[in-house]
A and B are shown apart, each in its own frame.
Chain A
Amino acid sequence: MKSVAVSNPYEVLGIKPGATQEEIKKAYRTLVKQYHPDKHRDNPLSGLASEKLQEINEAYEMLTSGGGSYSGSSSGGTASASDQSSFAQIRSAINLGNITMAEDILRRVNSRPAEWYFLTGVIASRRGDYSEAMNNARQAASMDPSNPEYQQFLNSFQNQGQGFQGNAFDRGYGRGGGNDCCDCCCKLWCADSLCECLGGDLCSCC
């Protein structure tokens, strides 16, 4: 089962800290009714409802089974060995283009290290959910700023966005900033030719 890493169970249940067991139970019951999967079957938002329900269940467990001993912080954390192997599986599923499988494995990972956010972002971007992808990419890069892979993923948004603008520019739209993708390639090609004229080589491939 997926752990949603609840940070504040009181907030999730919409109650004040120090609420009685009676109040907790009452809030829990109303929320479960609201997000029950039966109510949201065949709904494109069923994923959101079940995610919320899990969060509520977890918050309830934290407040009841622990006898209200909830102390405060819990989230993030480092990845265990099993999570590490899940991440490797997710990567190979993404490489094979099997996004549904990648999502399934991701859902079963418990910890929330930078890599989790990175992979969530990659999957979201494959689905065309770019805001979700961007938010997760930003999160991963801020948790581990020195990781070149996360930084590169973040930059790829910029490049692809510029690609679109270059395309628009080619069709005659835009005031001609000149900073588009095509222009960049052209400059690189010129620089390479110049280098080759002088006996050197900038791009070894051509």
Chain B
Amino acid sequence: MFGYVMPSKGELKIKNWNLYQAFYCGVCRSLGKRHGQKSRLLLNYDTTFLAILLSGVKRDYTLKPGRCLVKMKKQEFAYGASIDLAADINILLAYYKSVDDWKDEKSIKGFVGKSLYSGSARKASKTHAEISNAISEMVKGVELVESANSQNPDTAAIPFREMMRAMAVYVMKGDSQSALVEEFCAILGKWIFIIDSLDDLESDLKKKQYNPFKSQVDKFSVEQVLADAEHSMRMYMRDLSEIFDKIVFQDEQLSDIIENVVFAGLSEKTDKVLKRGSCEKCGSK
């Protein structure tokens, strides 16, 4: 579920790319400071986007120069309440994913993650009870969807969609634009869940694991399903872009980055997933 929401680097102005970096590294630094150095390994692009979205609406960040010990170079770091919140959400999501991996597949990665981060997750869930409730509701929902073997991708996406909505409700509490951001997050959640299902399609079928597109593949073919998905994924993005246009951002540069994600980043990711990484022009891998 991670790593789908990214900007299209080629379409980004250099100053905006630097700001994106400042947020990415800002979330990383916040993780390290609030949850210990080991938690920095969990950093992902999706929570960086969340930090940017929130900071764009609230403009509650500051930039300070610093030195990154991993990259060994001087750069700017973004600090702020939205960034800390995104870092906490990062910990909670990654922790629940490890628990789930361990339970479903008994994967070693899941076990290590589960044992390493239980302390940080407990701390974060105390501060943000609503978020951890939303996540456990999502886990329960996914169990129901899988046991009922729902073959409706939009129904299957409901638990994830509602979790994203609940998170937006929590982080936007008292803000006049709450409703818009909630809807934005809900559609984005649906998009993430469905693109993830499509990404895992072949491997799920091979391992005989649940996938909401299975019956459609049985009736038609994987190729047909992926070709159809190209159009439906664009429709979700269209809805998302319409809501993006309604939200008033307080920070122009962050708004540009979000626009890039909505209009170019998601499309780029969709093409990559649906065309399975093959070259668009010649069709070769």
Identify the A interface with B (CB < 8 A): 34-35, 40, 43-45, 47-49, 51-52, 124-125, 127-135, 138-139, 142, 157-158, 160-165, 167-168, 171-174
Contact = CB atoms under 8 A, between A and B. Distances in A.
A45 B158 contact: yes
A161 B239 contact: no
The interface size bin for chain B is: 35 or more
A160 B229 contact: no
A45 B141 contact: yes
A49 B229 CA distance: 26
Contacts, number: 109
B235 interface: yes
Contacts of B239: 128
Given A131-B229, A138-B224, A160-B235, A48 B8 contact: no
A132 to B, nearest CB: 4
B179 to A, nearest CB: 16
B144 interface: yes
Contacts of B155: 45, 47-48, 132
B235 A164 contact: yes
B162 A44 contact: yes
Contact of B229 (A44, A125, A132, A134): A134
B158 A131 contact: no
B238 A134 contact: no
Nearest to B161: A44
Given A138-B228, A161-B230, A168-B264, A131 B150 contact: no
A125 B219 CA distance: 21
A135 B153 contact: yes
